[in-house]
Amino acid sequence: MSNRKVVITQQFFDEESVAYLKANGCDVTVAKLPGGKPDGSLSHDELVGLLSGAHGWIVGHAPVTRELLAALPDLTVISRRGVGYDRVDVDAARDLGRVVAIAVGGNEAAVADLAIGLMLGVGRRVGESQEAMKAGKWSILMGTDLTRKTVGLVGLGRIGRQVVQRLKAFDARILISAPRPDEEYAQTMGLTYVPLETLFAESDYISLHAPLTSETRFLVSDKTIPLMKSDAIIINTARGGLVEDAHLLAALREKRLGGAGLDVFVSEADSSYKPVTEELIRLPNVAATPHAAASTREALALTNMIASQSVVAVFDGSSPQANRIVVDGRPDGGDPGSRR
């Protein structure tokens, strides 16, 4: 029992998942974060204080750095309630013998639902219309359809494929740009793989579903926005940093783009962009949510349980599901590498 102390710093962790951990011999602490702030805003010292002596950590958006891992020698497994791990130093985890897991299979449907919702919300000018109505102006603002439009998806992973399923109901022409084309899937679903430049040029809606890497950082910027239609709508439910938000802001103000639906922002990782985010969300042709795409009751309950199962698997001396392992630094664990 003594080597099964689990600290949860993620918000909205349900009782069923806590009960699962306790039923498997875990001593569980759900951290009460100051002011209800997310764990991504905690300092190194605050995290060390919360996690001292912990063997398992269920984490949200806190940075998992080499310095932090070195300060927590008892920590065996870091389990993310989510699928991104760009804030995790995977090399450090490997070097220091830790296991890092992600919650694959828990929130893809919720994120795909919001991506479609943002397309519809921006295209039909829902927020703008409501603000006008609040001001007593009931005149109709002309929107644009999603039905039979060209939609370009950058990336075709688990979430991208869920978006494809939903778009089929809109009879959309779907263009894909992805590093490893799946021609059989494309033929079955009626998709067309195209170079990124073609996707940008021909799409009415551009939805981003790629990981944030050195190659994809600022994928949408002053270098690529000129390729797009002047009424194109950008959707980003993937990662802040795929879009250069300052360039997007300028393009929207100057009517070089039609609108944007944004769930993620550069300012989440770079506070110098906070004024840009504040200006973006004030624009009438922007629909914004606070990195909430995966945050539905159903999705959170499922990802909480998946994260908990990964912790218990490591404590039991086995491994989480293969596609949920980011890195396994245990001497006999091997290294399946990145399986996003």
Transcribe 63-128 into DSSP letters: -B-HHHHHT-TT--EEEESSS--TTB-HHHHHHTT-EEE--TTSSHHHHHHHHHHHHHHHHTTHHH
Asked whether residue 267 falls in the same domain as residue 324, the answer is: no
Please check whether residue 334 lies inside any domain of the structure: no
Asked whether residue 218 falls in the same domain as residue 270, the answer is: yes
Split into its structural domains, the chain has a count of 2
Neighbours of 262 (CB within 10 A): 24
pLDDT tens digits for 58-108? 999 899 999 999 999 999 999 999 888 888 999 999 999 999 999 999 999
100 token code pair:
């890092």
Please check whether residue 257 lies inside any domain of the structure: yes
With a pLDDT cut of 70, the percent of the chain lying above it is 97
CATH number at residue 41: 3.40.50.720
pLDDT tens digits for 159-171? 999 999 999 999 9
Give the mean model confidence (pLDDT) for residues 40-46: 91
| pLDDT value, residue 83 | 86
pLDDT tens digits for 284-313? 999 999 999 999 999 999 999 999 999 999
Interaxial angle between packed helices 108-123 and 297-315, expressed in degrees from 0 to 180 and rounded to the nearest 10: 150
Q: Is the pLDDT of residue 238 over 70?
A: yes
With a pLDDT cut of 90, the percent of the chain lying above it is 89
| Bridge partners, residue 153, by sequence | 176, 207
Higher-confidence residue: 279 or 2?
A: 279
Please check whether residue 147 lies inside any domain of the structure: yes
- H or E stretch including 44? helix 44-51
Averaged pLDDT score across all residues of the chain: 94
Asked whether residue 90 falls in the same domain as residue 183, the answer is: no
Asked whether residue 133 falls in the same domain as residue 280, the answer is: yes
Asked whether residue 258 falls in the same domain as residue 148, the answer is: yes
Please indicate whether residue 239 is annotated as part of the active site: yes
Q: How far apart are the C-alpha atoms of 336 and 330, rounded to whole Å?
A: 12
Higher-confidence residue: 337 or 104?
A: 104
Q: Is the pLDDT of residue 252 over 70?
A: yes
Asked whether residue 102 falls in the same domain as residue 211, the answer is: no
Asked whether residue 177 falls in the same domain as residue 313, the answer is: no
Judge contact between 90 and 329, C-beta under 8 A.
no
Selected catalytic residue, list 202, 244, 268, 324: 268
| pLDDT value, residue 336 | 42
Residue 322: HSE in the Cβ half-sphere, 13 Å Cα cutoff: 3
Residue range of the domain that includes 301: 5-106+296-328
Go through 11-34 and write b for each residue having 16 or more CB atoms within 10 A of its CB, e for each that does not: bebeeebbebbeebebbbbbbebe
| pLDDT value, residue 237 | 98
| pLDDT value, residue 338 | 39
Asked whether residue 253 falls in the same domain as residue 275, the answer is: yes
Q: How far apart are the C-alpha atoms of 18 and 290, rounded to whole Å?
A: 26
Asked whether residue 129 falls in the same domain as residue 261, the answer is: yes
Please check whether residue 48 lies inside any domain of the structure: yes
Judge contact between 212 and 189, C-beta under 8 A.
no
Please indicate whether residue 44 is annotated as part of the active site: no
Q: Is the pLDDT of residue 339 over 70?
A: no
Alpha carbon distance, N-terminus to C-terminus of the chain: 32
Asked whether residue 187 falls in the same domain as residue 313, the answer is: no
Selected catalytic residue, list 81, 87, 94, 291: 291
Judge contact between 140 and 156, C-beta under 8 A.
no
Instruction: Classify the phi-psi angles of 114: left when phi > 0, otherwise alpha if psi is within -120 to 50, otherwise beta.
Output: alpha
Give the mean model confidence (pLDDT) for residues 15-30: 97
Asked whether residue 82 falls in the same domain as residue 120, the answer is: no
What's the helix, strand, coil split of the chain in %, to 5? 40, 15, 45
Neighbouring residues of 163: CB distance < 8 A, sequence distance ≥ 6:
112, 115, 116, 153, 207, 209
Please check whether residue 339 lies inside any domain of the structure: no
Selected catalytic residue, list 61, 239, 256, 324: 239
- Please state the pTM of the whole predicted model: 0.87
Q: How far apart are the C-alpha atoms of 141 and 113, rounded to whole Å?
A: 24
| pLDDT value, residue 2 | 64
Asked whether residue 10 falls in the same domain as residue 53, the answer is: yes
